[in-house]
Structure 1
Amino acid sequence: MLPPERASDPLPPEAAAWRNAFGALRPGSSPCRYLGATAWANIHEACTDFIERYGAEAVRLGWTAPQLFGVHPEHGTLRVDWCGVLMIGGRKATNIEAGRILFDNTSGYRDLPGLPVGMPIWEFAARR
């Protein structure tokens, strides 16, 4: 039998792990040297919202932590070509599909040819 807090959690274990790891990052303290406080606060809010609203669907569709929350292992968000879909722009997602995440007037894609894969931002922050 699951403990009461686990039984009532609507997120699958992978998304719950994202929530816990991302939730440990403070919205007022950017983990990346070149990511300003306002931009980080927006990203933090958008990612937190995404996990709660779309986390279960993201897991079901096969999205991974690096595809969503990835950053360059040495340069963080400065290397946007390594960034996960949610690490750019700080906008809240409006929908999720198998190959892309939609925002108000743009989309972020998961499987672009030659796209490098970063490490989750919480792992980057832990290395600092």
Structure 2
Amino acid sequence: MSAAPKIVPADPHAWRQGFLNLRPNVVPCPGLTLQSWAGVHEACIAFLDARADEAAVLGWTTLDLFGVHPEAGVVRADFCGALVMSGERVSAITENRMAFVNTAYYRDKPGRPTGAVPIWLFGR
């Protein structure tokens, strides 16, 4: 997508501004149920409150964290950012790894496709 370079930078203020437009009772894209979305929404708010600045300093981008496939949403997990799939809270973060209670996300995974959009821009 041609707009991708404008949404990639690490900007906690922009993350918060974009994400807070999403409501916890309205599923934003395919692949999430109302229950799973409520968990993801809560975990993302906790991340924005406690870890967003740290992630930005470590170089995490909008799409690394909040990316989804522009048409299939989280159904295409290979497009997804670290925060949009599990609903677990972040327990640790490094330059390339985000740890959750039971899983981890590696942002430097080879072969990761391009063309994701932030979850708050899905369908626009």
Shift of 1:33: 3.0
Letter in 2 for 1:46: A
Of 58, 61, 69, the match for 1:61? 58
Greater percentage in helix: 1
The corresponding residue for 1:84 is 81
How many angstroms does 1:105 deviate by? 2.5
* Aligned residue number for residue 4 of structure 1: none
Runs (4 or more) in structure 1 with deviation over 3 Å come to none
Structure 2 unaligned regions, length at least 5: 1-9
- Residue 10 of structure 1 is matched in structure 2 by none
Change (3 A) 1:105 1:34: closer
Higher relative contact order (CA 8 A, sep 6+): 2
Q: Which runs of 5+ in 1 are unaligned?
A: 1-12
**What is the TM-score of this pair, normalised by structure 1?**
0.84
Please say if 1:37 is aligned against 2:55: no
State the match for 1:110 in structure 2.
107
1:122 corresponds, among 92, 97, 120, to: 120
| Aligned partner letter, 1:71 | V
SS in 1 for 2:98: strand
Q: 3-state SS of the aligned residue for 2:46?
A: helix
Give the Cα–Cα distance (whole angstroms) in 1 for the partners of residues 104 and 15 of structure 2: 21
Q: Distance in 2 between matches of 1:80 and 1:64?
A: 17
Distance 1:61 1:33 in 2: 30
RMSD: 1.3
Post-superposition Cα deviations, 1:88-123, rounded to whole Å, max 9, x if no partner, equal 111011111110111112211101000114111011
Quick one: percent identity of the two aligned structures? 46
Compute the TM-score of the two structures, normalised by the length of structure 2: 0.87
